[in-house]
């Protein structure tokens, strides 16, 4: 064997061994890879098992939470159902209670209506009683004051002692009349039936009228009274007549309860925007705080009952109610030993605008008595002989007049048709037909329809006067008779009759 053969065989074996070695290495690599894959799969399997266990635990937790939530929800639902049941029960109870309350309210409403009706009937009865009382008291007062005035001014004049007695009679009579008027005013206010005529009122005119009315009382008591200058006029929103009544009451009290030689000062001032204060200051003894607190109480004269000055204890009460009805205020300040100040506050008003202003002052109509004047007739229809006698004596002072008398409405209508008097004086309360019925007949008869008819009655309530004027009376006079007022009304009626017969 040559070397070349030996070399060839050796190379072939080497190649064979080399191939087997590579295959072995490849198998080892594959085994290694398979092992790694197996390890990875094992790790993934472990992880999956762990995840599955975690999911199982989570599922258990979720299931437990769901069970807990369901239990909580069921409990809440049970509580809610219980609450609903309780609320429903309470609603049923509330409905029953509301029904009972509604029934009680209906019963209370019925009772209130009944009480209101009873109160209204009581007010009507009180008004009727007061009106009747006024009539019954005024009728004798008419005779007392009327004849006392005739005696005082008659001829021959009364002696000094007679004059003194007449003064006492007149003073007591007018005081009683004032008491009647104040009681009626208070009752009318409390019943809510007082009607006011609210308008812009000239304070200058009101104070001038009050000054004229109160000056004689001040002079008699030796009291010096001063009023503000009347050069600058102000207007307040009020009822003219009732405002005078209030101010005169304050002035009268300031004079009555003043000291001898004392003073009363009336002032006006603007206290706030749109309001004016009228003050009445006196120099009297003043009031202690405890007495000042008792002002404006009915029939409370603050310890003056035993004093020399007459009083009713109603005037301030009426004044307070009137001021409040006029949307104002009233009050007082007082210092013991120095005097008192009573004040009234009212709303300022614009001056009324006059459409026509002639610049000429109005003068009262006067009928002069002429020697050749025709005799004029007054027919008086009155069932009270004392009242008839009083008017007879008044007409006896009129040489231009004669008087016809009738004791009832039927006889009066007959005389009116047959004699056709210039003026008829008619009482309201008559036997048979009333004065208002007689007036209606006279107005409907062409023979008597033109004759002015004056009412002369003790029915002095404002609604009585208003009712009479609405019925067609030419004027309405109240008893007791005030001679000057009576004569002035008679003159106006005669002048009116004169124009109607031309």
Q: Are residues 443 and 336 in the same domain?
A: no
278-298: b or e for each residue (b if 16 or more CB lie within 10 Å)?
bbbbbbbbbbeeeebeebeee
pLDDT score of 233 more than 90: no
Kindly state whether residues 271 and 318 are assigned to the same domain: yes
Cα 311 to Cα 179: distance, rounded to the nearest angstrom: 8
Q: CB pairs under 8 A, 24+ apart, for 322-328?
A: 322/189, 322/239, 322/242, 322/245, 322/246, 323/246, 325/189, 325/194, 325/196, 325/242, 326/196, 326/198, 326/237, 326/238, 326/239, 326/242, 326/243, 327/237, 328/238
Is the pLDDT assigned to residue 446 strictly greater than 50? yes
Alpha carbon distances (Å) from 311 to 167, 171, 172, 176, 249: 18, 12, 11, 10, 11
In the predicted structure, residue 422 carries a pLDDT above the cut 50: yes
pLDDT of residue 311: 54
Strands (E), 235-386: 235-239, 263-272, 275-282, 329-335, 339-349, 376-381
Distance between CA 438 and CA 426 in Å, rounded? 9
234 and 332 in a single domain? The answer is: yes
Q: What is the chain's mean pLDDT, rounded?
A: 81
**What are the phi and psi torsion angles at 373 (to 5°)?**
-75, 145
Q: Are residues 439 and 325 in the same domain?
A: no
What confidence tier does 174 reach under pLDDT thresholds 50, 70, 90? confident
pLDDT in tens, 373-415: 578 999 999 887 777 888 898 898 888 899 999 988 889 999 9
* 270 HSE (CA, 13 A, CB side): 9
The answer on 343 and 213 residing in a single domain is yes
Tokens of 411: 């006889």
CA distance 460 to 184: 9
- How far apart are alpha carbons 262 and 340 in whole angstroms? 12
Q: pLDDT tens digit string along 302-342? A: 655 555 555 556 788 888 989 999 999 999 998 888 899 99
- Is 435 found in the same domain as 332? no
| 206 and 340 within one domain | yes
The DSSP symbol for 158 reads P
The predicted pLDDT at position 188 comes to 72
Segment of 73-77, 131-135, 237-241, 434-438 carrying the highest mean pLDDT: 434-438
pLDDT of residue 302: 60
Cα–Cα distances (Å) from 281 to 235, 241, 342, 450, 469, in that order, read 22, 22, 6, 52, 40
In this structure, is residue 227 part of a structural domain? Answer: yes
pLDDT at 355: 34
CB 294 within 8 A of CB 304: no
Question: For position 357, what pLDDT does the model report?
Answer: 34
Write out pLDDT tens, residues 261-287: 899 999 998 888 889 999 999 998 888
Distance, CA of 502 to CA of 497 (rounded, Å): 9
Q: For residue 268, which of 187, 358, 208, 188 has the smallest C-alpha distance?
A: 208
Of 182 and 34, which is predicted with more confidence?
A: 34
pLDDT tops 70 at residue 466: yes
Q: Please list the residues that pair with 342 across neighbouring strands.
A: 280, 332
Distances from the Cα of 453 to the Cα of 124, 300, 421, 427, 490, angstroms: 29, 43, 10, 10, 10
Residues whose CB is less than 8 angstroms from the CB of residue 107 and which lie 6 or more positions away in sequence, other chains included: none
388 and 266, same domain (yes or no): no
Q: How does residue 502 score in pLDDT terms, banded at 50, 70 and 90?
A: low
Write down the pLDDT at residue 114. 87
The answer to the question of residue 131 being in a domain is no
219 in a domain, yes or no? yes
With a pLDDT cut of 90, the percent of the chain lying above it is 22
Element (H, E) at 94: helix 3-153
pLDDT band at 454 (very low <50, low <70, confident <90, very high): very high
Q: What are phi and psi of 456, to 5 degrees?
A: -130, 105
pLDDT tier at 361, thresholds 50, 70, 90? very low
* pLDDT at res. 371: 46
User: What is the structure's pLDDT at 10?
Assistant: 52
Question: How many domains does the chain fold into?
Answer: 2
DSSP letter at 163? H
Contact 411, 383 (CB under 8 A): no
The secondary element (H helix, E strand) that includes residue 404 is: strand 401-406
Q: Are 434 and 135 in contact (CB under 8 A)?
A: no
* Range(s) of the domain holding residue 404: 376-500
- Looking at residue 353, its pLDDT comes to 43
- Section 195-223 average pLDDT: 84
Task: Quickly state the pLDDT bin for 423 (edges 50, 70, 90).
Answer: very high
Q: Are residues 345 and 389 in the same domain?
A: no
Asked whether the whole model's pTM tops 0.85, one would answer no
Residue range 277-300: average pLDDT?
A: 82
Integer CA distances (angstroms), 434 to 124, 461, 474, in order: 21, 17, 17
pLDDT of res. 368: 43
- Rounded Cα gap, residues 471 and 469, in angstroms: 5
Co-location of 254 and 396 in the same domain? no
CATH of the domain at 331: 3.30.565.10
Residue 268 within a domain: yes
pLDDT in tens, 4-33: 554 555 555 555 666 677 788 878 888 888
Radius of gyration of the chain (CA): 54
User: Smallest Cα–Cα separation from 195: which of 325, 301, 96?
Assistant: 325
The first and second tokens of residue 281, run together, are 């200051």
In a domain, 39, yes or no: no
pLDDT reported for residue 370 = 46
**Residue entry with tokens 């937790």:** 61
User: Quick one: 314 and 396 in the same domain?
Assistant: no
User: What CATH number corresponds to the domain at position 458?
Assistant: 3.40.50.2300
Average the pLDDT over 340-354 and give the result.
81
Give the pLDDT mean for 182-188: 73
Give alpha helix (H) positions in 154-202: 160-190
Is 416:448 a contact under the CB 8 Å cutoff?
A: yes
Do 265 and 281 form a contact (C-beta atoms < 8 A)?
yes
pLDDT in tens, 34-87: 888 888 888 888 888 888 788 888 878 888 888 887 788 787 777 778 888 888
Residue 291, domain member (yes or no): yes
- 115 assigned to some structural domain: no
For the segment 229-256, the average pLDDT, to the nearest whole number, is: 85
Strand order in the sheet with 401-406: 401-406, 376-381, 423-426, 453-457, 475-478
Is the CB of residue 309 less than 8 Å from the CB of residue 262? Answer: no
Kindly state whether residue 293 falls inside one of the protein's structural domains: yes
Sign of the alpha-carbon dihedral angle for 199, 202, 206, 209: negative
| One domain, residues 206 and 284 | yes
pLDDT tens digits along 116-171: 888 777 766 766 676 666 667 777 787 788 888 888 877 788 888 888 888 888 87
């Amino acid at each position: 064997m040559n070397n070349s053969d030996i070399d060839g065989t050796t190379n072939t074996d080497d190649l064979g061994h080399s191939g087997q070695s590579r295959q072995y290495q490849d198998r080892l690599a594959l085994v290694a890879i398979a092992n790694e894959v197996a390890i990875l799969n094992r790790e993934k399997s472990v992880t999956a098992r762990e995840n599955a266990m975690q999911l199982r635990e989570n599922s258990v937790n979720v299931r437990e939470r769901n069970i807990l939530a369901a239990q909580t929800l069921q409990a809440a639902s049970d509580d809610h159902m219980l609450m609903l049941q309780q609320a429903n029960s309470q609603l049923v109870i509330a409905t029953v209670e509301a029904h009972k309350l509604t029934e009680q309210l209906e019963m209370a409403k019925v009772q209130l209506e009944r009480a209101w009706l009873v109160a209204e009937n009581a007010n009507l009865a009180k008004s009727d009683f007061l009106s009747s009382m006024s009539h019954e008291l005024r009728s004798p007062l008419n005779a007392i004051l009327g004849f006392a005035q005739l005696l005082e001014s008659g001829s021959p004049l009364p002696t000094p002692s007679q004059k003194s007695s007449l003064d006492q009679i007149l003073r007591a009579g007018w005081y009683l009349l004032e008491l009647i008027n104040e009681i009626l005013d208070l009752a009318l206010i409390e019943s809510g039936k007082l009607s006011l005529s609210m308008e812009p009122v000239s304070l200058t005119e009101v104070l001038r009228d009050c000054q004229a009315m109160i000056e004689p009382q001040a002079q008699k008591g030796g009291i010096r009274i001063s009023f503000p200058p009347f050069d600058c006029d102000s207007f307040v929103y009020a009822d003219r007549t009732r405002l005078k009544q209030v101010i005169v009451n304050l002035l009268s009290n300031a004079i009555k309860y003043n000291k001898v030689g004392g003073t009363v000062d009336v002032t006006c001032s603007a206290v706030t925007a749109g309001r004016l204060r009228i003050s009445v200051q006196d120099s009297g003894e003043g009031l202690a705080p405890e007495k000042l607190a008792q002002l404006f109480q009915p029939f409370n004269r603050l310890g003056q009952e035993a004093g020399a000055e007459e009083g009713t204890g109603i005037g301030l009460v009426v004044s307070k109610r009137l001021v409040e009805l006029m949307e104002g205020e009233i009050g007082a300040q007082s210092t013991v030993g120095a005097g008192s100040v009573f004040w009234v506050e009212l709303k300022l008003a614009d001056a009324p605008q006059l459409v026509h202003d002639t610049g000429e002052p109005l003068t009262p109509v006067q009928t002069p008595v002429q020697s050749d004047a025709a005799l004029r007739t007054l027919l008086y229809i009155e069932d009270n002989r004392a009242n008839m006698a009083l008017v007879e004596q008044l007409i006896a002072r009129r040489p231009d007049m004669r008087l016809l008398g009738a004791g009832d409405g039927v006889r009066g209508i007959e005389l009116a048709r047959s004699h056709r008097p210039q003026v008829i004086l008619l009482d309201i309360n008559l036997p048979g037909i009333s004065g208002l019925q007689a007036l209606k007949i006279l107005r409907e008869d062409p023979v008597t329809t033109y004759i002015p008819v004056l009412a002369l009655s003790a029915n002095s309530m404002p609604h009585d006067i208003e009712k009479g004027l609405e019925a067609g009376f030419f004027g309405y006079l109240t008893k007791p008779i005030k001679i000057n007022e009576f004569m002035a009304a008679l003159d106006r009626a005669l002048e009116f009759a004169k124009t109607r017969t031309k």
